[in-house]
Structure 1
Amino acid sequence: MKKLLALCIVLHSMIFMVKAQVPDDALRTAWFIPGGTARNQAIGGAMGSLGGDITANNVNPAGIGLYKTKELVLSPGFMLNNNKYNYRGTNNNLNKNAFAYGASGIILGSPSPYRGSWTSSAFSVSINQLASYNNHISYKGLNNTSSYSEQYLEELIRDGASPIAAEQNYIFGSSLAYRTYLVDTVNANGQLIGYKSLVPLGTGITQQVDATTRGGYHELSFAFAGNLQDKLYLGTSINIPIISYTRNLTYTETDATDNPDNNFESSVFNEYTSSNGFGLNVKMGIIYKPTNNFRLGFAFHTPSFIGFRDKIRADMTTNTEAYAGIVSESSDNLNSGDPGQRDYSQITPWRVMGSASFVLHEVADTRLQRGFITADLEYVNYKGARFSASNTEDPIANNYYTSLNNLVKEYYKGAVNVRLGGELKFDPIAVRLGASYYGSPYSDKALKASRLMLAGGLGYRNHGFILDLTYSHSINKDVNFPYRLNDKPNTFASWNNNRGNVILTLGFKI
């Protein structure tokens, strides 16, 4: 009896991991258009060789080395989301707006008190919202090929689950489906021979996904940079990723016919997930001026090592008409009212970038500079993301994460990102334009995905006061999978997102 109880506990733990973790989670901390100050956003985020902006903490910390004075920066913003989904030929539109912010903090730059090669040094502390997770996902369509109930069939059949195991060991998914008769046993001569779904795929079902997500990827940065004779700048930042993510998901399948005698009317699955993580990474960079007008930059971002704690609750209500009627079940009822909890670690992809800038009339007095053109070329190894169990001595968890990491390597690839921007100065006013393009992280060419940002802004600098205002517009293409199956082609929704971002940066020389 003790061995059976231990086995149930292990299976319960394993099933929670499988339910809560999918390859898509690897992109949440890797594929996004990073935030920054209004000036940084207006030039497309191309900060790799330019410097002189607190956003350099998150891009190329050598850029902090251009500071010889002290500066305080605040960057509030507002985000406007317009989503268009196409799922199996049906279009769905909706909007989601939210507050946001860019790089904010303090830079402490000072000339070197000693005669020698080092001209100045700078230290900076900042907080930046690299990515916002505030969004609303909603789409529906007709499907006569697959059902989300089939993921539970695959799970039960794969594990050779007994009816007792099906009822008790999968409390965030398959057990809910089994207890509400979305799936049921198939018996012959009093013996279990398998499981079946009560969803009538032959006549079609209407599927609908509605999910609200909140939170963001924030990064607390501590950067130090040195200036060698105003020619060479070296910098390093130690960064603490702070991640909060919640998702309230409702998934519904409804009989597409009016037949009251086919043993299926509808099934509604609700899942409530929260994920919080803290981590560490290091960014290193160099900026070199071969001539007064040219700047070359190089930066390397180590992978972030992030520890996560996830919590999950789920419930399901299924109406199988004359078969069993309306039946509801919840994970709270099966788990003493407590959410499921899982601790794990993630290693994000590394990044490397090369940059170049041309400054018009490069002089020490920035008020006399006439503008610049700057560009970044960045490579991100998306398939390099890895997950691991916090308890490394758990063989079941280790085997699961090995399989998950193999899927990440199969689903994703490395991709190139390009950022370009420029500024013209009419002291004390500056006019800025920029653009950036982020390539698809998917290895499957059928999954069309990209991110394009176009931006423009104005800046004002006078007597130590800085005021920058930018509007950036992102055109994003991606896909969303309502569920994943092993024995059928996976269906997905095409997502076209237009995201406007208004950001204001206030700066003060102190």
Structure 2
Amino acid sequence: MKKITMIALAMFTAVGAGAQTIYDATNIAQKELNGTTRFVGMGGAMGALGGDISTIGTNPAGIGIYRSNDAMFTFGYSMTGTESNYVGNKFETNKNRWSFDNAGFVIASKIGNHTPLRYVNFGFNYHKSKSFYKNMTMQGLMGSIDNQYVSQVRSMAQQATDAAYAFYHRPQYDYPDQGAYLDYGRKDIYQHNYAGWLGTMGYQGALVLEDIESEDYNTYLPYIPSEADAYFLSRERGGIDQYDFNISFNINDRFYFGVTLGAYDVDYNKYSLYDEMYAYKWEGDGQIYEEGYSLESFNRIHGSGFDFKFGAIFRPIEDSPLRIGLAVHTPTYYKLTYTTGALLTSDLFLPNEAGDETLTRTTVDTYSALGGRDMDRDFKLQTPWVFNASLGYTVGNNLALGAEYEYEDYSSMKFKYPEGDEMAWETGEADLCMKGVSTLRLGAEYKPIPAFSLRAGYNYSTAAYKKDAIKALPSNSINTDTDFANSKSMNTFTLGIGYRFSSFYADLAYKFDTYKSDFYPFYNDINGLVTPPTTEVTNTRSKVLFTLGMRF
């Protein structure tokens, strides 16, 4: 895991308060295999074959293959499962739901049989490009390393120290009315950009203490009375709706060109709870008391974006059914708003007015501290370019084969402030932690009789995260959800069937995704701090899709 010094963390305090992370951005930038059941059943490997509305979002030239009008809709039922294994403690969580996945139409406009330009086609398609629905749980003892208890509180103390150091060394014209040292007890501290919420809430919740023995007034220490028994829970909801508008051209039935304008609507919600409990303490009345705290984070990212997709399909040999497809997608340019709030509740033995230690509950609520509102941060996100190459081959009217390769470099993601200035910290983290992703798609369709189709497909995608990727928060970050997962390569298997009537058609498909990830509720390997062992997570998603359509 990479190391980050305290000064490197602190130097960004002079910029606007951090909010979004590379994990949020990657979650939004990545798409999943979805669309019509024919498209899904063939693993999405239809970029060169075309003739399906869902190719509007992979290779726009695929709409140029149409010679008749088409209208369809798709709905599905998904079953998402997560199995976590933290040092032998296993948890399984599931989330099932219905979804409306696709609706679109194609208008095929014939120009002539003997003109070079044979068809000009228009298409529109809506589909759910990403579903965020997922639950996750882990639990276990955090342990200790080199006589240091592993705890999220260390992250709180480190951030408090970093922010205080940066505040003390700030330019003289920044906050001239607030003295030399950062005051974490200020009621309005959450409204300013100089202090991170994690460290501030830790201090106000009595989990982070000022080091009064140090000559440096900017040093803060964690309060960790014993080994922590940790519990983590997260619930993710929402999705990305994609709307594609297409125009495509058929030239001599050999060359096909298309362009698609894509519009995106993002709504991502995440709730997370992280809880630590410490050793038992006996009182005279025989009751058992336990110290600990819980930190709840409420996050939402919403907004919109757009991109352009350009594609071409050509038959290099006039009498051969071989087709070659090429496509390029511009980055998606998002304008997003990150909304967050947090609630920390601590139960600690603190001295009362008489000087005796009693179990005291302290609540720190950013919603109340901000006057009854959550914090909003606007930002812009630019996703990677996408490059796509595909092959298609047909054998008579009975067999269609497709293969597709796609590449996108997630280290090229860019974050910007609303005014257009680059967010150096977040963009730098993308370059440090992310890498290029290659996706292979294979698909086949076989018709034992003209009206009935059997389909199968396979996808393989490499990991987007480098092995040493971490969720590093700048010292003034308003993020309080410290958890992150480094997903590994993903495999997708698909099957499908279809039946064609005279004008109507009905298709059914099944999709199974599986990938593993390394999960951490927090990361502390900064300046020699200690980090919990990896939680091994297996993620699966099964989905059944059904499409009804009509060609006319």
Decide: shared fold, TM above 0.5.
yes
Q: Look up the match of 1:383.
A: 411
Q: What's the offset of the Cα at 1:189?
A: 8.8
Picking from 233, 240, 243, the partner of 2:256 is: 233
Give runs of aligned pairs for residues 181-200 of structure 1, distance below 5 A. Answer: 181-188=206-213, 192=217, 194-200=219-225
Distance 1:62 1:490 in 2: 50
* Pairing 1:338–2:361 present: no
* Pairing 1:265–2:291 present: yes
Q: Look up the match of 1:502.
A: 544
Q: Look up the match of 1:149.
A: 153
Q: Look up the match of 2:269.
A: 246
* Pairing 1:210–2:233 present: yes
Q: What's the offset of the Cα at 1:258?
A: 2.1
Q: Where do 5+ consecutive residues of structure 2 fail to align? A: 1-11, 145-149, 168-180, 192-196, 352-358, 470-485
Q: Where do 5+ consecutive residues of structure 1 fail to align? A: 1-9, 362-368
* Pairing 1:285–2:291 present: no
Structure 1 residues 229 and 113: CA distance shift in structure 2, 3 A:
closer
1:102-129: CA deviations, max 9, x gaps? 3321111121158520111211011111
Q: Look up the match of 1:7.
A: none
Q: Which amino acid aligns with 1:50?
A: L
Comparing 470-479 with 222-231, which one deviates more in the overlay?
470-479
Picking from 512, 515, 518, the partner of 1:473 is: 512
Check the 8 A contact 2:487/2:515 in 1, yes or no: no
Q: Look up the match of 2:200.
A: 175
Structure 1 residues 489 and 296: CA distance shift in structure 2, 3 A:
farther
Distance 1:30 1:190 in 2: 47
1:199-252: CA deviations, max 9, x gaps? 23xx42111211111111221100111001111110110001111101111111
Structure 1 residues 489 and 205: CA distance shift in structure 2, 3 A:
closer
Q: For residue 427 of structure 2, give the secondary structure of its aligned residue in structure 1.
A: helix
Give runs of aligned pairs for residues 34-45 of structure 1, distance below 5 A. Answer: 34-45=33-44
Distance 2:547 2:323 in 1: 25
* Pairing 1:356–2:356 present: no
Give runs of aligned pairs for residues 323-334 of structure 1, distance below 5 A. Answer: 323=351, 325-334=360-369
1:387-440: CA deviations, max 9, x gaps? 1111347xxxx5xx2022111111111121111010101221100011101111
Picking from 143, 158, 162, the partner of 2:162 is: 158
TM-score normalised by L of structure 1: 0.89
Structure 1 residues 65 and 186: CA distance shift in structure 2, 3 A:
same
Distance 1:33 1:190 in 2: 54
Distance 1:193 1:232 in 2: 68
Check the 8 A contact 1:300/1:352 in 2, yes or no: yes
Q: Which amino acid aligns with 1:338?
A: R
Structure 1 residues 496 and 233: CA distance shift in structure 2, 3 A:
same
Q: For residue 483 of structure 1, give the secondary structure of its aligned residue in structure 2.
A: coil
Q: Look up the match of 2:9.
A: none
Q: What's the offset of the Cα at 1:260?
A: 5.4
* Pairing 1:441–2:440 present: no
Distance 1:133 1:164 in 2: 38
TM-score normalised by L of structure 2: 0.82
Q: Which amino acid aligns with 1:91?
A: K
Check the 8 A contact 1:144/1:204 in 2, yes or no: yes
Structure 1 residues 445 and 178: CA distance shift in structure 2, 3 A:
closer
Distance 1:315 1:490 in 2: 23
Q: Which amino acid aligns with 1:226?
A: F
* Pairing 1:224–2:247 present: yes
1:441-481: CA deviations, max 9, x gaps? 12227956111111111001121101000011111222333
Q: Look up the match of 2:91.
A: 92
Q: For residue 157 of structure 1, give the secondary structure of its aligned residue in structure 2.
A: helix
Q: Look up the match of 2:444.
A: 422
1:483-509: CA deviations, max 9, x gaps? 233334654432211210010011112
Q: Look up the match of 2:324.
A: 296
Check the 8 A contact 2:47/2:404 in 1, yes or no: yes
Comparing 244-253 with 184-193, which one deviates more in the overlay?
184-193
Q: Which amino acid aligns with 1:59?
A: T
Q: What's the offset of the Cα at 1:22?
A: 2.0
Check the 8 A contact 2:56/2:246 in 1, yes or no: yes
Check the 8 A contact 1:170/1:176 in 2, yes or no: no
Structure 1 residues 68 and 159: CA distance shift in structure 2, 3 A:
same
Q: What's the offset of the Cα at 1:170?
A: 4.3
Q: Look up the match of 1:318.
A: 346
Structure 1 residues 97 and 12: CA distance shift in structure 2, 3 A:
farther
Aligned residues between the structures: 482
Distance 1:167 1:98 in 2: 45
Q: For residue 30 of structure 2, give the secondary structure of its aligned residue in structure 1.
A: coil
Check the 8 A contact 1:282/1:301 in 2, yes or no: yes
Q: What's the offset of the Cα at 1:100?
A: 2.5
Distance 2:531 2:111 in 1: 61
Structure 1 residues 102 and 234: CA distance shift in structure 2, 3 A:
same
Distance 2:218 2:512 in 1: 56
Distance 2:185 2:407 in 1: 45
Distance 1:130 1:260 in 2: 55
Q: Look up the match of 2:474.
A: none
Distance 1:141 1:317 in 2: 20
Runs of 4+ in 1 over 6 A off after TM superposition: 10-13, 261-264
Name which structure has the greater RCO, CA cutoff 8 Å, separation 6+.
Answer: 2
Q: Look up the match of 1:370.
A: 398
Check the 8 A contact 2:13/2:163 in 1, yes or no: no
Structure 1 residues 46 and 166: CA distance shift in structure 2, 3 A:
farther
